[in-house]
Amino acid sequence: MTILAIDVRHAEPDDAQAISEAHRVAWRHAFAGLIPYRELMSMIERRGDQWWLRAIQGSSITLVLEVGGSIAGYATMGHNRTRSLLLEGEIYELYLRPEYQGIGLGSRLFHDAKRMLAERGCRGLIVWTLAENNRAVDFCSALGGREIAAGTENFELHRLKKVAFAWS
């Protein structure tokens, strides 16, 4: 019998390249057809290995989901950036490589991120997602998030609606 180890842990500098690759694959999967192609590719390419190395060493928290020694996904989090929303924590990003989606690993990463924010004194948290990203909206709803705010993001000539989900 083979045992497959699954772990959520703090990202380390040596993880930068693997996170960069997970980011590239996950964003292509999540945003193809939503964000204009040229803008999406530009956003992805700006976040190469060195960008992730700086992020890991920065003030926000980066977690990785490791499956069998490989980085399957990541989450970044910290203090809420939307001052008008009274919740203190925010998960900025939570993405998995497509082959790891739909089997509960995203939920595990979310709950570990939520717990970590609470341990750091953050009361409540928010997650922003594009309203047309049905997978993300369904994910947040299934985890008990309630929609509390809306806004827009501009991509080239396209303006897309975004929504904030909250957990108390």
Residue 20's CATH number: 3.40.630.30
pTM: 0.94
Q: What is the pLDDT, as a whole number, of residue 155?
A: 86
**Among 129, 109, 99, which residue's Cα sits nearest to residue 29?**
99
* Residue 115 covered by a domain: yes
Tell me the pLDDT tens digit for each residue of 26-60.
999 999 999 999 999 999 999 999 999 999 999 99
| 127-157 as b/e: b if 16+ CB within 10 A | bbbbbebeebbebbeeeebeeeeeeeeebee
143 confidence band (pLDDT: 50, 70, 90): very high
Q: What is the pLDDT, as a whole number, of residue 79?
A: 96
- Which of the pair, 46 or 1, is modelled with greater confidence? 46
Q: What is the pLDDT, as a whole number, of residue 3?
A: 80
Tell me the pLDDT tens digit for each residue of 96-125.
999 999 999 999 999 999 999 999 999 999
* Residue 105 covered by a domain: yes
Strand partners, 96: 73
* Residue 19 covered by a domain: yes
How does the average pLDDT of the chain come out, rounded?
A: 96
The count of domains in the chain is 1
